[in-house]
């Protein structure tokens, strides 16, 4: 654990070494950003539709989408084109202090349909408000704000896919607010992830919200495969989800901390399978230099009991075992905004970038369970370039090289186009 905390300390130290004392954004650059923001605000105001639009545009529609081209560059590698997702969202001002937010996600050319979120905000004061419904877990940099224009890689970073299973949601209630300038928080109580599953023929088994069959942690995908739709996983266990963000500690710096804690076996076995996830992240922008970093550590109690339950010939054939007692990873990414670096007078942006990740879904195993060395990504290198002709459109290209714990490796070339509206 001390070694893992050391990784975080080194990341934070590296950030401040990079930060130069001469930080100051030029007046011209600030004016450019203000003009872009004003255009975006005017555009949103003009998009109000539906009941009440004649009264200050009380309903607005928004969304995003992305299409990917992926080609494995090794012998036998596959080539795919995927209309990965198209999302439609609605924001409605039911009253001045009660707001509705909802999003529906059409994935893989509408072959999959997901209810991403749907909740009510009760706005009471800047420092204390109430939120209830299906909400995104307040964990990490991307889970709540995962629009594809907001990250540079074609695919979401592997850490934000396996260790923080974006888009991770749950049903429940919580509080949120900004108690002081530069400090914000969210604290929710929502149904937990589901670490194991009962046999589909057991009482309450099956899909469609009746028992969570097929939902369980796995060796290769870690906790991601426990984050099925709210109605497709059991709700016997609830977790606390909390996040705090600091945006005024240092010019250009944002620092965040996240916590998730709760049982995960959903009453299927006597052991609770308590999961504690701790996450820290930073974002930093200095003129043309841009970087971010995240570190995640997840402890899972009773992993041995869960693997015994899932073992072949055990109580169920639906979960596959290989559940780790510890999951760990980190990533760090840096990019350069070329127009600003070169002094070009344009609102367009070109960002060459590089990212390193270490993603170990089986970092430590319980007694009696051997690790699957092909599940741990010891090193993931991604380098590419993103072009934004306008802030709402991104054209991306990158290459990813993954080195596994078993000393094998894979390579993939990716192209993507992303948009927001």
DSSP 252-313: TEEEEEEEEEE--STTSSSS---EEEEEEEEEEEETTEEEEEEEEEEEETTHHHHHHHHSTT
Closest CA to 360 of 404, 312, 310: 404
Among the ranges given (206-210, 239-243, 279-283), the one the predictor scored with the smallest mean pLDDT: 206-210
Mean pLDDT for the stretch of residues 9-25: 40
Q: Does 254 have pLDDT greater than 80? A: yes
Q: Residue 229 — pLDDT band, cuts 50, 70, 90?
A: confident
Q: Does 69 have pLDDT greater than 80? A: yes
Q: Residue 321 — pLDDT band, cuts 50, 70, 90?
A: confident
User: pLDDT at position 139, please?
Assistant: 98
Distance of alpha carbon 238 from alpha carbon 247, whole angstroms: 30
> Cβ of 249: how many Cβ atoms within 10 Å?
11
User: pLDDT at position 38, please?
Assistant: 55
| 31 or 368, which is more confident | 368
User: pLDDT at position 319, please?
Assistant: 75
Closest CA to 58 of 94, 33, 20, 111: 94
Q: Spell out the long-range contacts of 126-131 with Cβ–Cβ below 8 A and sequence spacing 24 or more.
A: 126/177, 126/178, 126/179, 127/177, 127/178, 127/179, 127/180, 128/175, 128/177, 128/179, 129/175, 129/176, 129/177, 130/173, 130/174, 130/175, 131/173, 131/174, 131/175, 131/176, 131/186, 131/188
Q: Does 143 have pLDDT greater than 60? A: yes
Mean pLDDT for the stretch of residues 182-199: 92
Q: What is the mean pLDDT of the chain?
A: 85
* Residue 311, token pair as written in the block: 């073992």
User: pLDDT at position 368, please?
Assistant: 84
Q: Does 318 have pLDDT greater than 80? A: no
| 134 or 21, which is more confident | 134
- DSSP label at 48? B
Q: Residue 76 — pLDDT band, cuts 50, 70, 90?
A: confident
Mean pLDDT for the stretch of residues 371-378: 90
User: Quick check: 209 and 232 in contact, CB under 8 A?
Assistant: yes
Dihedral class, residue 310 (left if φ above 0, else alpha if ψ from -120 to 50, else beta): alpha
User: pLDDT at position 199, please?
Assistant: 58
- DSSP label at 343? T
Mean pLDDT for the stretch of residues 122-142: 98
Distance of alpha carbon 311 from alpha carbon 321, whole angstroms: 6
Mean pLDDT for the stretch of residues 167-179: 96
CATH class of 2-420: mainly beta
Q: Give the CA dihedral 212, 218, 223, 226, nearest 10 degrees.
A: -10
Q: Residue 149 — pLDDT band, cuts 50, 70, 90?
A: very high
| 384 or 54, which is more confident | 384
User: pLDDT at position 223, please?
Assistant: 94
96 bridge partner residues: none
Closest CA to 268 of 243, 305, 293, 222: 305
Distance of alpha carbon 215 from alpha carbon 198, whole angstroms: 9
DSSP-derived 3-state class of residue 409: strand
Strand 349-364 relative to strand 169-180, pairing: unpaired
């Amino acid at each position: 654990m001390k070694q893992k905390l050391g990784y975080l300390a080194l990341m934070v130290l590296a950030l401040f070494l990079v930060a130069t004392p001469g930080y100051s954004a030029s007046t011209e650059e600030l004016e450019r950003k203000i003009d872009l923001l004003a255009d975006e605000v005017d555009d949103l105001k003009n998009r109000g539709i539906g009941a009440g639009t004649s009264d200050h545009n009380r309903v607005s529609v928004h969304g995003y989408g992305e299409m990917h081209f992926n080609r494995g560059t090794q012998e036998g590698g596959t080539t795919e084109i995927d209309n990965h997702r198209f999302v439609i969202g609605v924001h409605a001002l039911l009253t001045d202090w009660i707001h509705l937010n909802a999003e529906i996600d059409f994935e893989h050319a509408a072959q999959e349909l997901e209810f991403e979120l749907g909740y009510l905000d009760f706005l009471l004061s800047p420092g204390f408000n109430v939120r209830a419904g299906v909400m995104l877990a307040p964990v990490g940099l991307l889970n709540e704000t995962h629009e594809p224009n907001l990250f540079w890689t074609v695919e979401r970073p592997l850490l934000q896919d396996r260790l923080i299973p974006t888009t991770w949601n749950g049903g429940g209630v919580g509080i949120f607010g900004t108690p002081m300038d530069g400090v914000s928080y969210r604290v929710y109580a929502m149904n937990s992830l589901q670490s194991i599953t009962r046999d589909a023929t057991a009482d309450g088994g099956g899909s469609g919200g009746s028992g969570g069959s097929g939902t369980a942690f796995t060796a290769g995908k870690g906790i991601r495969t426990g984050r099925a739709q709210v109605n497709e996983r059991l709700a016997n266990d609830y977790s606390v989800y909390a996040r705090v963000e600091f945006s005024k500690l240092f010019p250009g710096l944002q620092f965040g901390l996240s916590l998730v804690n709760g049982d995960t076996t959903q009453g299927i076995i006597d052991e609770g399978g308590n999961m504690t996830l701790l996450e820290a992240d930073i974002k930093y922008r200095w003129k043309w230099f841009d970087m971010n970093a995240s570190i995640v550590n997840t402890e899972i109690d009773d992993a041995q009991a869960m693997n015994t339950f899932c073992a072949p010939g055990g109580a169920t054939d639906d979960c596959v075992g290989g559940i780790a007692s510890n999951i760990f990873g980190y990533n760090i990414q840096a990019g350069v905004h070329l127009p600003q670096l070169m002094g070009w007078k344009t609102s367009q942006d070109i960002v060459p970038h590089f990212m390193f990740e270490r993603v170990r879904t089986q970092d430590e195993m319980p007694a009696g369970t051997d690790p699957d060395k092909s599940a741990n990504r010891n090193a993931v290198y991604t380098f590419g370039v993103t072009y934004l002709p306008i802030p709402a459109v991104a054209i991306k290209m990158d290459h990813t090289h993954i080195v596994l714990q078993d000393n094998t490796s894979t390579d993939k070339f990716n192209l993507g186009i992303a948009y927001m509206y």
